[in-house]
A and B are shown apart, each in its own frame.
Chain A
Amino acid sequence: MRYKSSEKKFNIDNHNKTCLEKISSSKLFYTRDLFAYAFVALFVVFLIIVFVVLPSNKQANGFCVKKDGQVVFYFTNNTVKIQNDYDDLIETVGIQNGVEVTIYTDSNKTNFNVILFDLSNKTAKVTKSTCSHSKDCCYSPAISNSGIIYCAPHGLSIEPIGSGGFTPPVTGGIK
């Protein structure tokens, strides 16, 4: 059944009709949109300067790997320094221009993350993980002087050390 304009006994929902009419009769672009886009662009530039450009000037001297907020090991001066409690859960393999560290996140050694420390580029990157379907940590870009890689399902984080004055304690051996 179609309603005719002559039928007057309609109880029109003013707010929603106004909103629907407003959007459906609007255009794809208005001149005022430029103010919104300019505001967004300035905001993004501000974020880039504060969180990308300024931190990249600081020099990191290694990487720290934490699990659930606790330091597991850190990689500095081409060595892996492991906390005592995690000694059995970490395997280190030397490869060309780097070190590949496998950290098991459970005692059965079924779940793991593989972290590649690139010595030539001084970067860290997660190359393999059994965390989740989407594997966000593997898609995280390599970090160097700034940034962080976080694996939410395993509670694992990798962050640069030295640039922010952070020096984790070490109670374990050196590989």
Chain B
Amino acid sequence: MKKNTKKLTLSALLSALALITFMIENLFPPLFFPGARMGLSNVFILLCVVLLGNKYGFAVLIVKVTLGSLYSGNISALMYSLPSGLIALIIQVLLIKYTSRLSIIAISVTGSVANAVCQNAVFCFVMKSFAYLSYSPYLALSGVISGAIVGATVFFLTKKLRKIKFLQDIYFT
């Protein structure tokens, strides 16, 4: 199998995992506040950035958000989920690229908080009401928790996954 085909296969697998996690997570009530979720599907997006590169990470994000909104029957969520997800991922990509000695957990926490606040801000803009900004402190706090969990998961997964032959084939062909 060619290197690019392997990358495409792995990114498709990560997209499917992100989508399934997102759909399962949607079945549960929010954490403490409306809109607050663990965001465990972001594990696969961040993992894709680390394993395959930025463009694959962005592709997985777009697939997850678009199909997730369609399957959950809430297409309007696309309006505020996609821009906030893109902003958060850009921040994470820049932090990975330009900062040395910053742990993946700190990067994930920063991105997660940015995602939560941006999503709330875009939602306010779409709804034309700033009253919804009152949720932003709570969403930011939930972003800290979910970001730490996502970051720690990616950290441990990366340690394990680098030993897998399929991944070695991608890097050494």
Contact = CB atoms under 8 A, between A and B. Distances in A.
Interface of A: 1-3, 10-13, 15-17, 19-20, 22-24, 26-33, 36-37, 39-40, 43-44, 47-48, 51-52, 55, 69, 132-137, 139-141, 146-150, 152-153, 157, 159, 164
Q: Is the interface of B mostly helix, strand, loop or mixed?
A: helix
Interface residue tally of chain B, by bracket?
A: 35 or more
A28 B102 contact: no
22 contacts: A2-B168, A3-B168, A15-B53, A16-B51, A16-B170, A17-B171, A20-B162, A23-B96, A26-B104, A31-B101, A32-B106, A36-B106, A43-B117, A47-B117, A48-B137, A51-B137, A136-B34, A136-B35, A137-B34, A139-B34, A148-B132, A150-B34
A153 B172 CA distance: 49
A56 B27 CA distance: 33
Interface in B121-151: 127-129, 131-137, 140-141, 144
A53 to B, nearest CB: 10
Given A19-B96, A51-B137, A30 B171 contact: no
A23 B104 contact: yes
Contacts of B3: 11, 13
A72 B172 CA distance: 64
A43 B35 contact: no
